Amino acid sequence: MSFEQDRICIRCCDCLDGLKSVETDSISCVVTSPPYNKGTQNQKTGNQIWKGFKIDYDEYQDNMSEEDYAAWMIEVLNELHRVIKPDGSVFFNHKVILKDCKGHFPKWVLESKLSLYQMIVWDRQCSSNMRSETLYPTHELIFWLTKGKPAVYKSQARFKNDIWPILPDRNNKHPAPFPYALAENCVNLACKKDSDVLVLDPFTGSGTVAVAAKANGLRFLGFELSQGYVDMANARLSGTERKGDCTQGTLL
């Protein structure tokens, strides 16, 4: 099954393996959120919004050294720089991690080949970190990254400023899901609706970005390490008019 035959394609594979199979300058928009490297897994299942700080990512152990994690993220970002079009956009969700009595800002984002176009604050309006010695962290960051002047369709966006008040998704079995409104706002900022452009999420998870792309008449390509999450994403897409599971297919 080739990708050209289907508008939605999710492949079960490592994100870098998948990215290296993608043509240069072929992606209009990337919306993604990697694991945050928050430490040892607690082996809980289900959505973790109110269940502590450590989450179970199924196949992935979220406990790399800071140096290895930064090097991995920079490699992913550099691959995203290669695959996006000259006017493409990357919306990269991350946060300041409170660990070892320090706030760890993801400064490695600024060390990749991508340029910071704008920083967006996702106001979650709630927090799972209820430590008495710190202020409750109720926001995350969305780095809008580019390699040239991006195409921008601001009139399509629901949120037109740089602070987006969006509650987390509490009705999703994935441990750290995107809220749909966040994914859709990113897609609508960077892609003309009902066009043949391609949206990418190299950390597909439960498929929220895929659902947003489909709902707005766009194509989608995703990579996900866990077959369970691939199945979850395809289940969410099962009602779409055209849905392709390219787990064993040819990419581009």
Is residue 37 domain-resident?
yes
> Is 35's pLDDT higher than 60?
yes
Q: 73 Cβ partners below 8 Å, 6+ apart? A: 34, 106, 108, 109, 112
Chain segment 50-101, per-residue pLDDT in tens: 333 343 445 445 568 889 999 999 999 999 999 999 999 999 999 887 777 7
Task: Domain of residue 176: give its range.
Answer: 3-236
Is residue 245 domain-resident?
no
Q: Which residue has the higher pLDDT, 210 or 128?
A: 210
This prediction has a pTM of 0.84
Q: Look at the chain and report how many structural domains it folds into.
A: 1
Read off the amino acid at residue 200. L
CATH of the domain at 131: 3.40.50.150
Phi/psi at 64 (5° precision): -75, 165
Is residue 93 domain-resident?
yes
Query: Would residue 100 be called left, alpha or beta, if left means φ above 0 and alpha means ψ between -120 and 50 degrees?
Result: left
Asked which of 72-76, 115-119, 160-164, 246-250 is least confident by mean pLDDT, the reply is: 246-250
Is residue 249 domain-resident?
no
Is residue 200 domain-resident?
yes
Is residue 54 domain-resident?
yes
Is residue 252 domain-resident?
no
At 135, the pLDDT band (50, 70, 90 cuts) reads: confident
Is residue 241 domain-resident?
no
d(C-alpha 237, C-alpha 68), whole Å: 34
